[in-house]
């Protein structure tokens, strides 16, 4: 157990509700100094700019945690404002470690809320995407063992002025349903032996407003394809692909017609259906998860360098730009994104097919809240937790726990670091 931080360093008004009473920030940037400064531990960062050990992994985590902390203040979603911040366990928040790769220790906090937002959380979206990618790889390899094939279908749409993101998304979902109910799709399904689909939604924002894309893996069972029912063995994948491709033109035309009938549009050249090998299919779909991730956005942004008005951005890039610059228009866009994406699914399996592949259903919230074999190495008092989460100690403590030789020294290290953070705290403004 660690000692309590001397109460004398904490002035009145530093109670649990301090964070919510802080005046709303005018601007967030230039990001890290301000974020750390607001948390009262700027000076800690000056001797810890290079994370020990984990290097890149630690850098990425710092970036996610900083962005998430900006959302504690700016998000319109209650669960995102609480993610990684609000203690949920009466026992308090624990610093936990678990085994990573051989010789690697991974630290985290337990007893803290997780939002489970696949769309709006720089941390949870990464954790969820990793799990979904792993599930997909398992599903695909099982499908391969059963002699199946897959094709990748890409369908896009864009909105006209005056339509909200919400309308766009509703339009996407209902047009997909109508596509599958139509004759071209049914003909395609019968010809190619389509037995299941996995649909992933991707949204970007550009000069013409919001764009939505569907990337769907179509699972083909050659034995059920009408044209090639007698073909088997090594040729079956090729035959299934051939059947799919020969039926694709009416499917793509149907998508566009249905969109236009509902006041949307799509660029013809952006619609695509193509064969992919089972071993490449996971990677193809992975690309759409990772492209939209916080990590990719932070990599592109690298400081306040907003892209031109013609470049399209993922929502996480919009957030990264806001974190870097504090641009109020970006914040408005981000909040529109939060409202429009809330309760929407990123991945949708056709009914029963996930189970058919032997995969279990685990919700995004469950994935985000999971811990693997954690060992609590330090219990934090309520006050310690407030100091940690509002300062650079939020990640420095994790890095220390991952790199130090003797975990029993962490309590003492935290006490002195936290005391410095409180003493160095700039005047509240
Ligand atoms: Zn979260």
Rounded distance from Cα 319 to ligand 1 centre (Å): 14
- pLDDT band at 233, cuts 50/70/90? low
Rounded distance from Cα 136 to ligand 1 centre (Å): 22
pLDDT of 37 over the 60 cut: no
Q: Which residue has the higher pLDDT, 247 or 193?
A: 193
Rounded distance from Cα 143 to ligand 1 centre (Å): 32
Going across the sheet that includes 194-206, the strands are: 272-276, 149-158, 209-220, 194-206, 347-349
Task: Report pLDDT digits (tens) over 339-388.
Answer: 999 999 999 999 999 999 999 889 999 999 887 667 899 999 999 999 99
Rounded distance from Cα 144 to ligand 1 centre (Å): 34
Task: Report pLDDT digits (tens) over 111-142.
Answer: 999 999 999 999 999 999 989 988 999 999 99
Cβ atoms 294, 122 nearer than 8 A? yes
Rounded distance from Cα 119 to ligand 1 centre (Å): 9
* Mean per-residue pLDDT over the chain, rounded: 81
E strands present in 142-288: 149-158, 194-206, 209-220, 272-276
Rounded distance from Cα 8 to ligand 1 centre (Å): 34
Rounded distance from Cα 63 to ligand 1 centre (Å): 14
Rounded distance from Cα 308 to ligand 1 centre (Å): 29
Rounded distance from Cα 377 to ligand 1 centre (Å): 23
> Could you tell me the pTM of the whole model?
0.82
Residue ranges near ligand 1 (ion) with Cβ within 5 Å: 83, 115, 121, 123-124
In this prediction, residue 1 carries a pLDDT of 39
Rounded distance from Cα 185 to ligand 1 centre (Å): 38
Rounded distance from Cα 192 to ligand 1 centre (Å): 40
Rounded distance from Cα 118 to ligand 1 centre (Å): 8
Which long-range CB contacts under 8 A does 326-333 form with residues at least 24 apart? 326/25, 326/26, 326/27, 326/28, 326/29, 331/74, 333/205
Rounded distance from Cα 79 to ligand 1 centre (Å): 8
The secondary structure of the chain in percent helix, strand, coil, rounded to multiples of 5, reads: 50, 15, 35
In this prediction, residue 99 carries a pLDDT of 85
Rounded distance from Cα 109 to ligand 1 centre (Å): 13
Rounded distance from Cα 316 to ligand 1 centre (Å): 13
* Structure tokens belonging to residue 103: 């010789």
* Structure tokens belonging to residue 424: 């160095």
Rounded distance from Cα 3 to ligand 1 centre (Å): 30
Rounded distance from Cα 69 to ligand 1 centre (Å): 10
Rounded distance from Cα 70 to ligand 1 centre (Å): 12
Rounded distance from Cα 371 to ligand 1 centre (Å): 14
Rounded distance from Cα 115 to ligand 1 centre (Å): 4
Cβ atoms 114, 369 nearer than 8 A? yes
Rounded distance from Cα 113 to ligand 1 centre (Å): 8
Task: Report pLDDT digits (tens) over 150-176.
Answer: 999 999 998 776 778 998 999 999 999
Rounded distance from Cα 204 to ligand 1 centre (Å): 21
Cβ atoms 53, 402 nearer than 8 A? yes
Task: Report pLDDT digits (tens) over 253-306.
Answer: 999 999 998 888 888 888 999 888 888 888 887 877 778 888 888 876 554 444
Q: In degrees rounded to 5, what are phi and psi of residue 353?
A: -75, -30
Rounded distance from Cα 62 to ligand 1 centre (Å): 14
Domain ranges, ordered by start, for the chain? 7-118+369-423, 125-345
* Structure tokens belonging to residue 154: 């890409």
Rounded distance from Cα 263 to ligand 1 centre (Å): 35
Pairing of strands 194-206, 209-220: antiparallel
């Amino acid at each position: 157990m660690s000692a309590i931080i001397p109460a004398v360093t904490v002035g009145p008004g530093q109670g649990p509700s301090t964070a919510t009473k802080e005046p709303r920030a005018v601007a967030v940037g230039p990001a890290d100094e301000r974020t750390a400064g607001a948390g009262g531990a700027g000076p800690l960062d000056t001797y810890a700019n290079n994370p020990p050990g984990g290097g890149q992994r630690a850098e990425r985590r710092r970036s996610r945690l900083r962005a998430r902390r900006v959302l504690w203040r700016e998000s319109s979603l209650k669960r995102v404002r609480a993610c990684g911040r609000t203690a949920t366990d009466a026992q308090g928040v624990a610093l936990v470690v678990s085994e990573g790769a051989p010789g690697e220790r991974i630290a985290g906090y337990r007893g803290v809320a997780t939002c489970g937002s696949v769309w709006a959380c720089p941390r949870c979206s990464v954790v969820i995407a990793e799990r979904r990618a792993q599930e997909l790889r398992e599903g695909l390899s099982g499908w391969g063992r059963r002699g199946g094939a897959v094709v990748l279908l890409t369908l896009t749409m864009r909105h006209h002025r005056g339509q909200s993101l919400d309308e766009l998304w509703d339009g996407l979902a209902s047009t997909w349903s109508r596509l599958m109910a139509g004759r071209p799709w049914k003909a395609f399904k019968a010809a190619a032996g389509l037995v299941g689909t996995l649909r992933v939604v991707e949204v970007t924002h550009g000069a013409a407003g919001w764009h939505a894309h569907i990337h769907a893996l179509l699972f083909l069972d050659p034995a059920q394809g009408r044209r090639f029912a007698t073909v088997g063995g090594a040729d079956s994948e090729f035959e299934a692909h051939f059947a799919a491709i020969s039926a694709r033109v009416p499917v793509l035309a149907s998508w566009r017609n249905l969109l236009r009938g509902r006041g949307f549009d799509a660029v013809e050249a952006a619609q695509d259906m193509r064969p992919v090998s089972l071993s490449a299919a996971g990677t193809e779909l992975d690309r759409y998860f990772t492209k939209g991730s916080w990590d990719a956005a932070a990599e592109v942004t690298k400081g306040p360098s907003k892209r031109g008005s013609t470049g399209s951005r993922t929502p996480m890039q919009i957030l990264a730009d806001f974190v870097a610059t504090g641009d109020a228009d970006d914040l408005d866009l981000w909040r529109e994104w939060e409202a429009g994406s809330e309760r929407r699914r990123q991945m949708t399996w056709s009914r029963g097919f996930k189970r058919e592949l032997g995969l279990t259903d685990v919700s995004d919230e469950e994935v985000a809240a999971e811990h693997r074999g954690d060992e609590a190495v330090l219990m934090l008092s309520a006050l310690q937790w407030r100091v940690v989460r509002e300062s650079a100690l939020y990640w420095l403590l994790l890095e220390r726990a991952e790199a130090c030789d003797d975990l029993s020294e962490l309590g003492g290290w935290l006490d002195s670091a936290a005391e410095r953070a409180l003493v160095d705290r700039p005047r509240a403004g």
